[in-house]
Amino acid sequence: MLKNTMTRSEEKKFIAKFIFTLLFIYICLFEFIFSANRFLPKPTLLAESFISIWKDYDLLFALIVSISVVYISILIGYGFLYLLKGILCRVYFNLPLLISASKIFKYFPAFFYAVLFDYWFTGSYYAEFLFAFIAVLSLLVSVFMKEIGGAKEEYLHFAGCLRIPEKKIFSGIIWKSSLPSVHKTLKSLNYYLWVIILLFEFVADVEGMGKVYRQMLAYRDLSGLIAAGLIIAAIIYLSNKIIEYISSKIIHWENE
């Protein structure tokens, strides 16, 4: 069976070369050959958009709104998961049918919940926070519940033999064993939450990057759409790096 023998540094070099190649092709094709097209803007227009969109669409305020909603919701959702870990463990062991019944909600698309929240709280900024918080907590609880079932039986049995209090088992064994998966989920949650918040802001027409996209689409501002997308992609990438760094400090036993 073939294995990937590429080192981390080699992988970074390959990615850098790949991005540079794409950028070179993009400049050559769309600046000189296909300068007039409706698929990608000229590189010069795109470069100008990185400057103009800040004023034209009040981009700084929109970014502050969306960034606040995404990352405050993640912090509060993680905090609630920590506070509820004992209750969730009891529910898992004592009310398994309730967990099975709650899985029905995952079959509804995020668009349905976005429209529903806009119907209940038309144009409300606080509804956006509530929507994001519920999305974060739901996903983190789902991951945590799976990890409860994956806790090593020998650890739980050994703790039971030592008559360790149930509360201590939940916080000392189950919680810590779930942390690696919970923190890995934060990276995918970071991307997922940006998607649904942009969707909510777009549908509800409330302040944020989703509303900016709505305006850009109305003005047929292709270069603005791509420039805004690249800015958001950079924010997601940098925040994922921060999540990785914090996770390495909290889950220190994985590196030992």
204-236 pLDDT tens trace: 888 899 999 999 999 999 999 999 999 999 999
Count CB-CB contacts under 10 A for residue 96: 11
- Using pLDDT thresholds of 50, 70 and 90, give the confidence band for residue 163: low
Count CB-CB contacts under 10 A for residue 57: 20
Specify the pLDDT at position 253.
47
Domain locations in the chain as residue ranges: 71-255
- Using pLDDT thresholds of 50, 70 and 90, give the confidence band for residue 46: confident
Tokens (6 digits) for 185: 């989920």
- Contacts of residue 107, Cβ cutoff 8 Å, sequence gap at least 6: none
- Using pLDDT thresholds of 50, 70 and 90, give the confidence band for residue 98: confident
- How large is the average pLDDT for residues 94-123? 79
Question: How far apart are the C-alpha atoms of 58 and 209, rounded to whole Å?
Answer: 10
The fold of 71-255 is MetI-like fold (1.10.3720)
Question: How far apart are the C-alpha atoms of 88 and 99, rounded to whole Å?
Answer: 10
- How large is the average pLDDT for residues 165-190? 75
More confident residue, 226 or 31: 226
Residue 140 pLDDT > 50:
yes
- Using pLDDT thresholds of 50, 70 and 90, give the confidence band for residue 111: confident
Specify the pLDDT at position 35.
66
Specify the pLDDT at position 168.
58
CB 213 within 8 A of CB 198: yes
Specify the pLDDT at position 24.
81
Question: How far apart are the C-alpha atoms of 87 and 144, rounded to whole Å?
Answer: 12
Specify the pLDDT at position 235.
96
Closest C-alpha to 189, from 105, 30, 81: 81
End-to-end Cα, the chain, rounded Å: 29
Lowest mean pLDDT among 14-18, 126-130, 213-217: 14-18
More confident residue, 164 or 174: 174
Closest C-alpha to 200, from 220, 78, 141, 192: 192
Specify the pLDDT at position 164.
54
Residue with structure tokens 């509360």? Answer: 167
Specify the pLDDT at position 214.
94
Specify the pLDDT at position 256.
43
Q: What percent of the chain has pLDDT over 70?
A: 84
Residue 152 pLDDT > 60:
no
* CA-based R_g, the chain, Å: 23
More confident residue, 76 or 168: 76
The mean pLDDT of the chain is: 81
